[in-house]
Chain A
Amino acid sequence: MAFESLSDKLQNIFKNLRRKGRLTEADVKAALREVRLALLEADVSFKVVKSFMKSVQEKAIGADVMNGLNPGQMVIKIVNDELVSLMGSETTELALKPAGEITVIMMMGLQGAGKTTTAAKLAGKLKSKGRRPLLAACDIYRPAAIRQLQVNGEKQGVEVFERGTSVKPPQIAQEAVAYAKEKGYNVVLLDTAGRLQIDENMMEELQEIRRVVDVDQAILVVDAMTGQDAVNVAAAFEEKIGIDGVILTKLDGDTRGGAALSIKATCGRPILYAGMGEKLDDLEQFYPDRMASRILGMGDVMSLIEKAQANLDESRAKEMEQKIRKASFSFDDYLDSMEQMKKMGGMSSILSMMPGMNNSQISQLEGQIDESQTKRIEAIILSMTPQERANPDLLNMSRKQRIAKGAGVDIAEVNKLVKQFDQARKMMKQLGGSLKGKKGKRFGLKLPFGGF
């Protein structure tokens, strides 16, 4: 039980609160005690928790809660409001100068926070937005750091400026900016070495960089799994260098992410992006209010819906919905929906954003949704003729045998797929009926997730 996530915990607490019609002061206190434990277990800084609990308690043990019709909801609202106000309620964009000028972005942080990877991801993101980014290798200390940046830069199609390991980082930064001017780049990303915030010499190096080049955005890169130390790190970088924005990395792990709260409360700077995976395009916009509601166990529904909207062609979704209702769903449509899902980051990414999903459930489901099996299913469908895909009833034994050969799988797998597909179609027929009545109350993505 010690490994429940913060959202699981709060969900459990509030489940109990909801069950009661009315709350006593003792109930509120008990619930808040659990909130406190959960926050501490989530690695939120002790001091931040302390002040958070104080303000929540002040608001909760007041007349409003006692007199409210639904006390449980009231407590949730207060805790949520406080969390949101702590996280900051608005999304902040990385501020860039007009395209005609050079914006200098300096990445900084402790060792292993993910600066180099993040710098390359950010460069790729800016490039896709039409900017002309240049990466500058200012980590001359860690073995092969320059090489790592070059490899990642190449994957993003972004040039890397480097001067080897014998030129001092401030000079490299200076030369990189001059080079950018010459070559017409308009964003320079400085990848600096990881350093401890108590390492005076290394901190001076960053100050020196700030002195010699005009750094527009000093970005602190922080591992989302950081513990109580997050506060010390943020405070020191803010005091000595100045922080303009924060990028949280490794949020795709099962960390409860309390560091996000701590950092925001300590330096007051916005969290701009969240690193959500190991691939280079897994750098996502950070939504503070959604993070807060995710912590409270309401799921990151907003992110999910937005993701779906961005990736799903609306007319095709409608068409699909029609098909589901009529149960005229074919293998082609199935392939199509698998493609759409892939665009949304795969099953596990979708699951993690669903409300009420906890980590153990997700990993359980992940076990069933082996991604390599998805590939095999794809292979099977692709081995069918267009006629067979459009009309699954055509599939007889000899056709199935041919398909199995073509896909390089056992015929039993083809049979299994066809059978499951039939079941799914039947299910959709029933679902089609119920869909007419209710509008998707929870999440109305009309895609056939189930079955396989």
Chain B
Amino acid sequence: MAEEKKGFFRRLVAGLTKTRDSIVSGFDSIFSGYSSIDDDFYDEIEEILVMGDIGITATTSIIDNLKEKVKEQHIRKPSECKELLIQSIKDQMDVGDTDYEFENRRSVVLVVGVNGVGKTTSIGKLAGMLRDEGKRVILAAADTFRAAAGEQLTEWADRAGVEIIGGQEGSDPASVVYDAINAAKARSADILLIDTAGRLHNKKNLMNELGKINRIIDREYPEAYRETLVVLDGTTGQNALAQAREFEEVTNVTGIILTKLDGTAKGGIAVAIHSELGIPVKYIGVGEKIDDLQKFNADEFVNALFDVKTEGKDE
């Protein structure tokens, strides 16, 4: 367990090193550079949080919260303030115990998101991960819109060693889903992963199409455990919040896959989403290889973002 944890942690840290270098060095200097907690001190915290894409709204509420606690607990030292800040963000990001229940059930996982966030790649990685856990997985290529999306997913299916059900480009995605459900039943698959076309969340017709897919699953496969994951690009700014919200309106979103955290993006939007919508981040993508999808761990995520004294720094 300790080994596994370290592996995960190192990978996460490796992915987030750049992030941490800027955020953490920033934090280091404010926490040590200030002898008292004053407005300048808070301004600098604001700057660092905003630059981490946490967003001005969430940042403001985090800081208000912090100020209140500082007052309540008569805190004078900036370093104690740091502990408080980290704790409050951790509290917000906490993931529940039942969040990965779908992995143990006969389930349908619908994966949605706007264009270019890494849906197909994430599904490929997720399929590989579940396959390694000994699950029988079927992929449904319901992105019949983007050119060659089906072929891209087929490539991933081959890499993961799982079966894939597809349709012609331009065919009705709902019919692909219908076929895939029948295949999943016939082969008693544990998990059916459905890839959908990228859609901008403000395009009404495409969002309605999602509703149709949902109805088909409900009607044809009511006994299945439902999981709906929204894939969000970690480099996206505040719009990710709008995306999560809009998808939440048409489907019952149960979790988030946050991708592309291996760059310089801070992924701070996850904090804002969790605090505003209460949707937990369940997986993060930290690279392009098939095993570069990790279960989200709030503690480690926040530590990796803030803690200066981790092994990552020494490497």
Contacts and interface: CB of A to CB of B under 8 A. Distances in A.
B56 A37 contact: yes
Interface in B127-151: 145-149, 151
Given A2-B276, A254-B242, A227 B204 contact: no
A145 B260 CA distance: 18
A252 B151 contact: no
A259 interface: yes
B266 A2 contact: no
Nearest to A50: B47
B117 A112 contact: yes
B262 interface: yes
Interface in B104-118: 114-118
Interface in A13-43: 37, 40-43
Interface stretch (B64-72, B230-238, B306-314): B230-238
Contacts of B237: 43, 225-228, 230, 255, 258-259
Given A43-B238, A253-B202, A259-B237, A223 B116 contact: yes
B167 interface: no
Interface string B27-59: 000000000000000000001001111011100
Given A3-B245, A229-B264, A278-B115, A151 B239 contact: no
Q: Which of A42, A151, A253, A371 has the most CB of B within 10 A?
A: A253
B223 interface: no
A334 to B, nearest CB: 23
Given A112-B233, A229-B264, A198 B204 contact: no
B204 A366 contact: yes
A441 interface: no
Contacts of A230: 237
> Which interface class (under 10, 10 to 19, 20 to 34, 35 or more) fits B?
35 or more
A196 interface: yes
Contacts of A187: none
B265 interface: yes
Contacts of A45: 51
A53 interface: no
A91 interface: no
Contact of B201 (A253, A258, A371): A253
28 contacts: A2-B241, A3-B245, A40-B55, A41-B55, A41-B56, A43-B239, A110-B235, A112-B118, A114-B116, A143-B154, A147-B152, A148-B152, A152-B147, A197-B264, A198-B263, A225-B236, A227-B235, A227-B269, A228-B53, A228-B237, A232-B264, A250-B115, A250-B200, A253-B201, A254-B202, A254-B242, A278-B115, A278-B200
Interface of A: 2-3, 37, 40-43, 45-46, 110-114, 141-145, 147-148, 150-152, 196-198, 223, 225-230, 232-233, 249-250, 252-256, 258-259, 278, 359, 363, 366-367, 371
User: Would you list the 10 A-B pairs with minimal beta carbon distance, nearest first?
Assistant: A227-B237, A112-B116, A43-B237, A143-B155, A151-B147, A147-B148, A144-B152, A144-B151, A148-B148, A229-B265
Interface of B: 18, 47, 50-53, 55-57, 114-118, 145-149, 151-152, 154-156, 169, 200-202, 204-205, 233, 235-242, 245, 260, 262-266, 269, 276, 288
